[in-house]
Amino acid sequence: MFELLKTDPGSKARLGRLTTSRGTIDTPVFMPVGTQGSVKALDPRELLEMHTQIILGNTYHLFIRPGLDIITGAGGLHRFMSWEKPILTDSGGFQVFSLAKIRKIKPHGVEFRSHLDGSLLFLGPRESMEIQRVLGSDIAMVFDDCPPHTATPKEVRAAVERTVRWAQECREQPRAKGQHVFGIVQGGSHGEFRESCAKALVEMDFDGYAIGGVSVGEPEPEMMQAVELTEPFLPATKARYAMGLGTPAQMVELVARGVDMFDCVLPTRVARNGTAFTRKGTYSIKGGSYKADFRPIEEGCRCFACARFTRAYIRHLLNVNEILGLRLVSIHNSHMYLEVMEEIRRHLGQGTFSEYRQKFIANYIPTQKVLATRGQTLVRGADE
Amino acid sequence: MFELLKTDPGSKARLGRLTTSRGTIDTPVFMPVGTQGSVKALDPRELLEMHTQIILGNTYHLFIRPGLDIITGAGGLHRFMSWEKPILTDSGGFQVFSLAKIRKIKPHGVEFRSHLDGSLLFLGPRESMEIQRVLGSDIAMVFDDCPPHTATPKEVRAAVERTVRWAQECREQPRAKGQHVFGIVQGGSHGEFRESCAKALVEMDFDGYAIGGVSVGEPEPEMMQAVELTEPFLPATKARYAMGLGTPAQMVELVARGVDMFDCVLPTRVARNGTAFTRKGTYSIKGGSYKADFRPIEEGCRCFACARFTRAYIRHLLNVNEILGLRLVSIHNSHMYLEVMEEIRRHLGQGTFSEYRQKFIANYIPTQKVLATRGQTLVRGADE
């Protein structure tokens, strides 16, 4: 399924290609998140125009609404949402452990109450794989136990053991035609847990491996560490996916640490508050200084929003709550994420990734929030 | 500016063409409403794809936000919103009389408090025309006094007198290059007021004439009557515009009564509640019966939404509050309005408008709300 085309001499970065029955995916790749069957505010045409190769869907959310009957009736998730390219589905493990109310962990899964209407539901390896089979995703994820950042070592150990046992159960379930399955490595920031979890999963020979238990509230250094502690135990011949990450600068750094695949809600989530991602960091288009700024969101950007509309116009739309405002920022941000990945692939191909990485990180000003987790404070204004 | 190409032998319907410096407009025409500089939920590309010929902007709203400085800086409203085709701007009269708080009518306009922040503002013929000049619209409307449906005959008479006086003031103001100006006939449902207002305005020789004081809460028969009482006094050689109207069936009937231009917020407003317009009337896509309905919003429709997405999918999106849901219904509804106008023009050209009208009205089931104003009740289900 995965072809390793080139490895960067100055880092662990890799240029690769994933093959699915719905087409190939050049890696490193960013996957826009379509949790509930729609990448928020965007339509499939817009996603194709920004060269989206694969999107994410979510087992937990789609299982609750619209439910499997509807998606079966539609002929699977691709046809339901009118998206012909590959889809990766998350297993629902993360949501069960973060969203659901009153959960009870049982040997073969989790009994929980729907975050929506409180109804009693059960998700485990068998159920999750069955749902993902019905959704018909091109890449399914195993059902894992994803503990919070605050979990004790004992809790993390139990989560790893459960994750490994459930991965084996997932491995044995039937799959949709052509469906690949990725294992998920848990283990928090504990090297020994990461190692044992990775080794046990590699033993089961999955089609790819995800690093889970990140994007669960941990500081940036711990997140980087979790990846560094896991990567050495993952086979070079399989794709590696860092779940739920990150900012553009974090993605560049994670590529340098050997990660091939990313998904993140940030580009569309912050867009709805009027925050734009640029190569210099983020800024709020709602800011008064953009009132009469007739430049595009990011100068030099070729996205649909930047090709036609100004900051002044988009700021006005956001101020008067016009839907087009958040649509345009969502387009720009998603395009920016995808374009950074395109640039990374080009530089990996040309052997200039180290220079690209250095320049990107030097230009990119992280948010106060990210800096705080590094123990740093901001020295320059982030608003360009 | 207006060329009358053909008159229907069986009604007062007219086929025509409006010429502006930004292109010609085939009439009868529907103008999507972009009150605050955006047709709600849609982007300019989507508007062009559904063959939008002209859109509406609003003086009152754009004056309050973003304000004239910003639009001047952008180089006018067309460039601000990235729309190159014609724009008609409403004068703000309707909004001052319906939205603004604590207004005081003065000889040369209205002093009022912004509905937004309560600041004291003044709009009159001079100010409205100046704003419309800055906006740079292709068709500007005179600043009128638009009384509510409940106004007494005395109040309506005063509104007509003021409207005529203010129209004269508007007539004398400088205009943007190539800008046309339309007069607005008031007079409620009083034949003598409609006649005197129309005659006084025609005397001033405007580029076109609007029928105002409709869409102010009146029952449908009164609305039709207001048009019927006005139309005979409008010159055949000028375009006639019925302001703020209506449902698709009402537009067909108003075309038959000699109206050439329409604008209405209904297609995008009801879309945001999940209501779709079809040739059979409206229905709520949120209805449980569409849960597993894999047909497009309207069978046979070629809009972007109907070409790719099903009722079941759109219903799901609306239920989980995904923005794409209301985008798709807004696209369909606006496309439907524009396509009805295309069909009307084709049938007028072919001399088959009477048959089209008859068939359209027979198929179209009005809402309970419209039927109630006719003193009728619904006999069939409105959901197709």
Q: What average pLDDT does the segment B277-305 reach?
A: 98
CB within 8 Å: A73 and B37: no
Task: Enumerate residue ranges in chain A where pLDDT < 50.
Answer: 380-384
Q: Which alpha helices (DSSP H) does B89-152 contain, by range? A: 93-98, 125-135
Predicted pLDDT at B382: 36
Predicted pLDDT at A100: 75
Of B36, B309, B328, the CB nearest to A320: B36
Output the six-digit token pair for A77. Answer: 């998730």
Output the six-digit token pair for A292. Answer: 């009469």
Of B42, B74, B291, the CB nearest to A312: B74
Output the six-digit token pair for A295. Answer: 């430049």
CB within 8 Å: A82 and B308: yes
| Per-residue pLDDT reduced to its tens digit, B29-39 | 999 999 999 99
- d(Cα A312, Cα B70) in Å, to the nearest integer? 8
- d(Cα A283, Cα A298) in Å, to the nearest integer? 10
CB within 8 Å: B291 and A66: yes
Provide the whole-model pTM: 0.97
Active site residues of B: 90, 263
- d(Cα B312, Cα B285) in Å, to the nearest integer? 8
Of A43, A70, A294, the CB nearest to B312: A70
- d(Cα A120, Cα A103) in Å, to the nearest integer? 9
Inter-residue contact B66 to A316 (CB < 8 Å): yes
Residues 6+ apart with CB under 8 A from A295: A310, A311
- DSSP for A328-384 reads HHHHHHHHHHHHHHHHHHHHHHHT-HHHHHHHHHHH-B--HHHHHHHT----S-S--
CA distances to A146, A302, A304, B38, B168 from B268, rounded to whole Å, are 43, 29, 23, 11, 34
- On the CB side of A324, how many CA atoms lie within 13 Å of its CA? 31
Residues 6+ apart with CB under 8 A from B200: B164, B167
DSSP code, position B308: H
Of B44, B74, B292, the CB nearest to A70: B292
Residues of A with CB under 8 A from a CB of B: 36-38, 40-45, 61, 65-66, 69-70, 73-74, 80-82, 291-292, 294, 304, 308-310, 312-313, 315-317, 319-320, 322-328
Confidence category of residue B377, pLDDT binned at 50, 70, 90:
low
In the chain, the amino acid numbered B89 is T
Triad B122, B127, B133: Cα angle to 5°: 150
| Per-residue pLDDT reduced to its tens digit, A144-195 | 999 999 999 999 999 999 999 999 999 999 999 999 999 999 999 999 999 9
Predicted pLDDT at A381: 39
Predicted pLDDT at A378: 54
| Per-residue pLDDT reduced to its tens digit, B95-118 | 998 887 778 999 999 999 988 888
Residue closest to A244 by CA, chosen among A121, A109, A98, A137: A98
Residue A276 φ then ψ, to 5°: -105, 140
| Per-residue pLDDT reduced to its tens digit, B206-217 | 999 999 999 998
Active site residues of A: 90, 263
How far off is chain B from A37, nearest CA to CA, in Å?
A: 8
Q: What average pLDDT does the segment B72-99 reach?
A: 95
Spell out which residues of chain A touch residue B66, defining contact as CB-CB under 8 Å.
291, 312, 315-316, 319
Q: What average pLDDT does the segment B340-349 reach?
A: 98
Query: What torsion do the CA atoms of A368, A374, A380, A382 make, to the nearest 10 degrees?
Result: -40
What is the bridge-based pairing of β-strands B180-185 and B120-123? unpaired
Name which of B48, B70, B294, B317 to mutate to probe chain A: the one with the most chain A Cβ atoms within 10 A of its Cβ. Answer: B70
What SS3 state is found at A309? coil
- d(Cα A31, Cα A328) in Å, to the nearest integer? 19
User: How many beta-carbon pairs under 8 angstroms link A with B?
Assistant: 112
Confidence category of residue B150, pLDDT binned at 50, 70, 90:
very high
Residues of B with CB under 8 A from a CB of A: 36-38, 40-45, 61, 65-66, 69-70, 73-74, 80-82, 291-292, 294, 304, 308-310, 312-313, 315-317, 319-320, 322-328
